[in-house]
Amino acid sequence: MKPAEIKELLEVAKGAELDSLLKSCDEDPRATVRRLAENKRKHINELKAEQHRLKEMLSFENEYAEYKMICGVDEAGRGPLAGPVVAGAVILPKNTTILYVNDSKKLSEKKREELYDVIMSQALCAGVGVVSADVIDEINILQATYEAMRQAIASLAIKPDLLLNDAVTIPHVDIRQVPIIKGDAKSLSIACASIVAKVTRDRMMREYDKLFPEYGFATHKGYGSAEHIAAIKEYGPSPIHRATFIKNFI
C-alpha cells in the first residue's frame, strides 16, 4: 500500500482498527510510513490536550449550571487610538466545546476568522455592541465599554439569566453578573465573546482603511504603532480618531 493511501486510512480509522494500523506502520520498513504513525499519535495527543483545556474552560459554566442561559461578555478595542470599542455577547448551548477557542489575543487573525464562523453557527445567539470614537471622547473609554456591552446584551435574541464578564461588572444591567479576571482565557463563553468582538472590530477597521488608506488601519487596527503615530503627525487626525487618545501626538 502506498504511503498516501495509508495516510488516508489513518485519518478515518478509529478504535481497534486505528491501533492495529498504527502498529503495522511502526513495523513498516519505510521511514515515511513510520513517520505517518508518529504524526498521527502526535495529533491524537494534541487533541486530547486541547479537549482537556476546553474542559477546564467550562469550569465557570459548570459552576453556574443551574442557570439556563449563560452569556459570555467581552470587548475589543479599549486601547486603540482610532475606531470604535466593540463588545460581544455569546450564549452557547450547554456542554458545547469548540476546539481551539481561546482569548482572541492569543489567536492568529486567520484562526479568529475561522472560529468566528464556527461560533456563530453553534451559538444559541450572539450580539454585538459598537460605540464610536466621538462617543468615547464624550463619555470616556470605560463608560463607552460598558455601553457597548449593554448594547451587545440587549441585541441578543434570547435574554440571558447570567452574565460571565471579562473582569468588569456592567452598570445598569438587571441580570446577575460574575466578573472573572482574565476571563477570556478561563471561560469558553467569554472567549467566544472575545472572538466575536475582535473579528467584528477588525472587519470594521479594514473597511475604514479603504476610506482613510493613509493611516494603515488594515494593518494595525487603530492601535498606536510607530507607523500609525507617524501618519497622525503627517496627516492629522481622521474622523475616526479618538481626540482624547491622540492629544499628545498633534
Distance CA 191, CA 126 (A): 13
Task: Output the pLDDT for position 151.
Answer: 98
Quick one: average pLDDT of 33-55?
93
Quick one: average pLDDT of 176-204?
97
Which grid coordinates are listed for 183? Answer: 476571563
Residues of the chain above pLDDT 70, percent: 100
Task: Output the pLDDT for position 250.
Answer: 77
Give this prediction's pTM: 0.90
Is residue 95 pLDDT above 90, yes or no?
Answer: no
Number of H helices, E strands in the chain: 11, 5
What CATH fold (topology level) applies to the domain 66-243?
A: Nucleotidyltransferase; domain 5 (3.30.420)
Q: Name the residue with cell 465557570.
A: 60
Across the chain, mean pLDDT equals: 96
Quick one: average pLDDT of 15-39?
94
Is residue 185 pLDDT above 90, yes or no?
Answer: yes
Report residue 150's pLDDT band, with 50, 70 and 90 as the boundaries: very high
Quick one: average pLDDT of 5-22?
93
Report residue 248's pLDDT band, with 50, 70 and 90 as the boundaries: confident
Q: Which of 30-34, 151-155, 212-216 has the lowest mean pLDDT?
A: 30-34
Task: Output the pLDDT for position 128.
Answer: 98
Sheet holding 70-76, edge to edge: 125-131, 85-91, 70-76, 162-166, 177-180
Which grid coordinates are listed for 243? Answer: 481626540
Residue ranges covered by each domain of the chain: 3-56, 66-243
Task: Output the pLDDT for position 46.
Answer: 93
- How far apart, in Å, are the Cα atoms of 183 and each of 58, 137, 164? 11, 27, 8
